[in-house]
Amino acid sequence: RASSDNNEEPNGSLTAPDEAPSLPQQSLGPAQEVLLHSFALGVRHLVDCHLLSKSGSAVGLAGLATHLFWTEPANFVMVRLLTSGALHEVITAASLGGRQAKLETLSTIIAHLFMRETLHPARAQAMRARAAGSSPSLVVLPPLPDACQHAVADYNQEVLRRTTQGIVAFAAAQAAAADAATAACVLAEDSTLP
């Protein structure tokens, strides 16, 4: 396979990195190709999120994303909100309403990313009735601010596009390998008559 320095073919599809780990003690057969391709997709995602340099060093907000690894994919979305400037824009706008407005906006964003739970409608209604007037807790979060919604939507589209390209490239490579193997078998058949 021909690959460039950034492991991207001219059509933008991902190839397995030349430095991808090999598993000499394991014989996984076809599963090893899937494993290596998944590894390459993961590395490419980290590079595209500016969390990993092309040489493999952690950069930028990699420490934050790593610290919040257990919240994936919210950790990557948080990094995107910070690097895109959406979080700064929203908090700056909320600052005009005072410290309390700024804290409520930040709390809403953090709750959307890290603390969402889907409630059955009956449970949500019971919780609303119990908390009505006596608790500052919210059962239903207010929507994310527009700038954050746009940044999250852009991130989701980018990840979907990149993952789709990677899967299509892998499937095409597997199909080409299968076609080559079939052609080799046909050519190797004994075509002489007795």
Least Cα distance to 109 among 74, 135, 83, 84 occurs for 74
Does 88 have pLDDT greater than 90? yes
More confident call, 16 vs 182: 182
The letter for the amino acid at 113 is L
Of 74-83, 91-100, 177-186, minimum mean pLDDT range: 177-186
Does 3 have pLDDT greater than 90? no
Does 160 have pLDDT greater than 80? yes
Of 50-64, 67-81, 167-181, minimum mean pLDDT range: 167-181
Q: What is the pLDDT of residue 4?
A: 41
| DSSP symbols for 90-108 | HHHHHHTT-HHHHHHHHHH
9: confidence class by pLDDT, cuts 50, 70, 90: very low
| Residue 83: C-alpha distances to residues 62, 77, 86, 103, 126 (Å) | 12, 10, 8, 20, 39
More confident call, 152 vs 15: 152
**What is the spatial distance between Cα 47 and Cα 77, in angstroms, rounded to a whole number?**
15
- pTM summary value: 0.70
More confident call, 29 vs 186: 29
2: confidence class by pLDDT, cuts 50, 70, 90: very low
25: confidence class by pLDDT, cuts 50, 70, 90: low
103: confidence class by pLDDT, cuts 50, 70, 90: very high
Least Cα distance to 169 among 161, 181, 180, 158 occurs for 161
The letter for the amino acid at 164 is T
Q: What is the pLDDT of residue 105?
A: 92
The stretch 146-160 carries a mean pLDDT of: 95
| Residue 35: C-alpha distances to residues 66, 70, 85, 89, 164 (Å) | 21, 21, 35, 40, 16
106: confidence class by pLDDT, cuts 50, 70, 90: very high
pLDDT averaged over every residue in the chain: 80
Q: What is the pLDDT of residue 164?
A: 94
